[in-house]
Structure 1
Amino acid sequence: MSRTGRIERATKETKVLVEVDLDGTGIADVSTGVGFYDHMLDQLAKHGLFDLTVRTEGDLHIDSHHTMEDTALALGAAFREALGDRSGIRRFADVKVPLDEALAEVTVDVSGRPYLVHSEPEGMAPVIGRDYDTTMTRHIFESFVAQARVALHIHVPYGRNAHHIVEAQFKAFARALRLATEKDPRVTWVPSTKGVL
């Protein structure tokens, strides 16, 4: 059975289309107008082995906030749709990913309950590239979690370069999400004593 999700979201600030296939091969076709964010979504697809299409038109003449936020909301909703009732998945995953001097630790529970714990080094450069506000990293994950309904813990104990700190988070997130959403051949039920996630 196909595990795909497709979400269209339109507001006065943005127009977003997201399509995801959880059982893909890592093919990304991404365009948000925010170069570094596109690079991070490419990381999500490649290291998560998700096929991902993202088309966002946003009010970039103001700033990149609405574009990144609404894309993350649609992305989370697409993942939730693709997961269905969540039966047969592994549910939990814990991954550490280094990127040169930076280390990201990500733990995920595809629980049906949205919760984010996020910590990264203070004093990062405020902008990566032309228009990626580094304070948006946490908000991107908050937005995803709210719609995907997963518990996500991200911790970066150290790192110096802002690009590396953010990219390590997305790579670790991709790997953890891939492992947690993978089908476990020994599990044919919803992995919860409650019987529902």
Structure 2
Amino acid sequence: KKQEPAAKPPQHPAVARTTTSSITITSMTDQFTLSNVACIDTAKSPHPISTGIGFFDHMIDQLNSHAQIGVAVIVTKTNGESSSAMSPSFEFVNRYADEDQALIMGQVGAALGSQLKELVYKGEESNSRTSRFCCPLDEALVECVLTKSSSNNEGKLTAFTLPPYGKYPANKGRSKIGTMKTQFVE
């Protein structure tokens, strides 16, 4: 009698959560377009991370790796200079003025946060109500805990902790990583 191979468990299809339109960011010196923002239910996104801010690209890539969520984002200058056209080597080089970097980082963070929220709530069949991640790094111990409420609270996120977020000793440590000022992430 021929033995049939064991059935594979059903795979959850990758669900892209991409913004439907781009966002225009206008600063005192330039104008930028934020596009292709996505959080995908897969371990790694096939799409690029290219903000034009080297260390910020690296931090977003770490979200890709550690959270096992596919993340993508592209920032383009209105004059046509796309940061995605440049090599995504995660070199700690910044292509924009300091003021523009702060503005871009805020807008990218808000857009990715919105996409991540959609991904978290895409299914009510979640197996766990609390998710915890801890990552010891050379310079920090990062811990994140997400708690999803019961259905009687309409599936809203009821608790979020990320201690100690942005607490740095005064006048200690680096003022820059590559050419990115650390004050933008405090």
| TM-fit CA distance, 1:2 | 5.0
- Give, in angstroms, the shift of residue 105 of structure 1: 2.1
Instruction: Decide whether aligned partners of structure 1 residues 116 and 106 sit closer, same or farther in structure 2, where only a CA change above 3 A counts.
Output: closer
* Alpha-carbon offset, residue 109 of structure 1: 2.5
Q: In the alignment, is the contact (CA less than 8 A) between 1:26 and 1:51 conserved in 2? A: yes
Classify 1:88/1:12 alpha carbon distance in 2 versus 1 (closer, same or farther; 3 Å).
same
1:135 lines up with 2:135 in the alignment: no
Partner in structure 1 of residue 129 of structure 2: 91
Equivalenced residues, count: 136
Name the residue aligned to 1:124. 173
Q: Could you tell me which residue of structure 2 aligns to residue 56 of structure 1?
A: 75
The answer to whether the 8 Å contact 1:9/1:74 transfers is: no
Match of 1:44 in 2: 63
Q: Cα RMSD (Å) of the superposition?
A: 2.7
Structure 2 alignment gaps of length 5 or more: 1-12, 78-94, 149-155
TM-fit CA distance, 1:95: 2.5
**1:57 and 1:67 in contact (8 A); partners too:** no
Distance in 1 (CA, whole Å) between partners of 2:23 and 2:158 is 22
**TM-score, normalising length from structure 2?**
0.61
Which deviations, in whole Å up to 9, do the C-alpha atoms of 1:156-193 show, x marking residues without a partner? xxxxxxxxxxxxxxxxxxxxxxxxxxxxxxxxxxxxxx
Give how far 1:94 is off: 2.2
2:96 alignment partner AA = L
1:3 corresponds in structure 2 to: 15
Bigger radius of gyration? 2
Task: Output the TM-score relative to the length of structure 1.
Answer: 0.58
Q: Secondary structure at the match of 1:11?
A: strand
Deviations 1:10-61 (A, max 9, x none): 2324421201212x12236200010000001111111222222110136923
Q: Greater RCO between the two (CA within 8 Å, min separation 6)?
A: 1
Gaps of 5+ in 1: 139-197
Q: CA separation in 2, counterparts of 1:49 and 1:65?
A: 26
CA shift in 2, pair 1:114/1:29, >3 Å? farther
CA distance in 1, matches of 2:161, 2:62: 20
Matches within 5 A, 1:3-82: 3-7=15-19, 8-13=22-27, 14-17=32-35, 18-22=37-41, 24-27=42-45, 29-57=48-76, 60-61=96-97, 62-82=99-119
